[in-house]
Amino acid sequence: MRLSKLQVFIAAALLLLSFLSILCDAKPDETSTKVFPIKFRKLNDVVLKIKPFLSREARLNLNYSDNSLQVEDFPANLGLVEREVRAFDRPPYKIGIHITVISANRTTLIRQSGKDEAGQPENISFIPEELNKILNYNVYKQLDALSIVSKEGENYTMSENDRYNLQFYSDYIDAGSGAVVLKDFTLFLKNRLPSGITVSKRLLRTDINLIPGQKLILGGAKTQESPEAILFIIETETTK
């Protein structure tokens, strides 16, 4: 039996109405609630980490008494939050920081020893050759070396050193690159006056991004043409 065009149209319309009815009756994903016990991190830091994975409907409850975080959200979002919490909530790494303070000078004088006829510096093993060409200095001298240990997620202050004060905040280590971010990294030089008063001169203040195994070289001079400058070679290593 062949159906007329009108019968086919009516049948198609009925199927469409049935499909729309199913869609209208279908309930959206319902939210669920999950509690995440946090063992090593601060709750506020965990919240900052999981925020990109939350929906607009998410609700958070921070319980400081037992250091737990309650999250209400859609199942897909809760899965992402659980993965991020699992990766982030681990014992903090120890961060070793090594700072070498270097004086750099530019001179046309050629010493009797330690240089060739072109006036090349006698020992610049700590300065990469490519960087030395850019800096255009030919006399380097190590003034000091500092080594300290801090922990990620904590503020660090060194004040007991006779010559330097150092302070910074160790941000959390990037899980992918292993980069160590030190925020507000500030180094002061102490100077004791004849009156007995100790004053501090700020040598460096910046945020720095360190990769273990690589050297970061910072420095400054009074002007671009200044014949002298001070350099800081900063290295890091992380341990559990």
pLDDT in tens, 111-131: 444 444 444 444 455 666 666
Residue 111 has what pLDDT?
46
Classified as helix, coil or strand, 127 is coil
Q: CA 107, CA 91: separation in Å to the nearest integer?
A: 50
Classified as helix, coil or strand, 168 is strand
Residue 39 has what pLDDT?
93
pLDDT beneath 50: ranges in the chain: 8, 20, 22-27, 110-123
Do 149 and 94 contact (CB within 8 A), yes or no?
A: yes
> How many residues are listed for the chain in this entry?
240
Domain covering 32-88 in this structure, CATH number: 3.30.1370.120
Residue 131 has what pLDDT?
66
Residue 97 has what pLDDT?
93
Residue 221 has what pLDDT?
76
pLDDT tens for 202-231 read 888 999 999 998 889 888 877 667 788 888
Nearest partner of 40 among 5, 80, 87, 89, judged by Cα: 89
What residues does CATH 3.30.1370.120 cover in the chain? 32-88
Q: At what angle do helices 75-88 and 43-50 cross, to 10 degrees?
A: 130
What is the residue-wise DSSP string for 84-107? HHHHH-SPPPEEEEEEEEEEEE--
Residue 128 has what pLDDT?
62
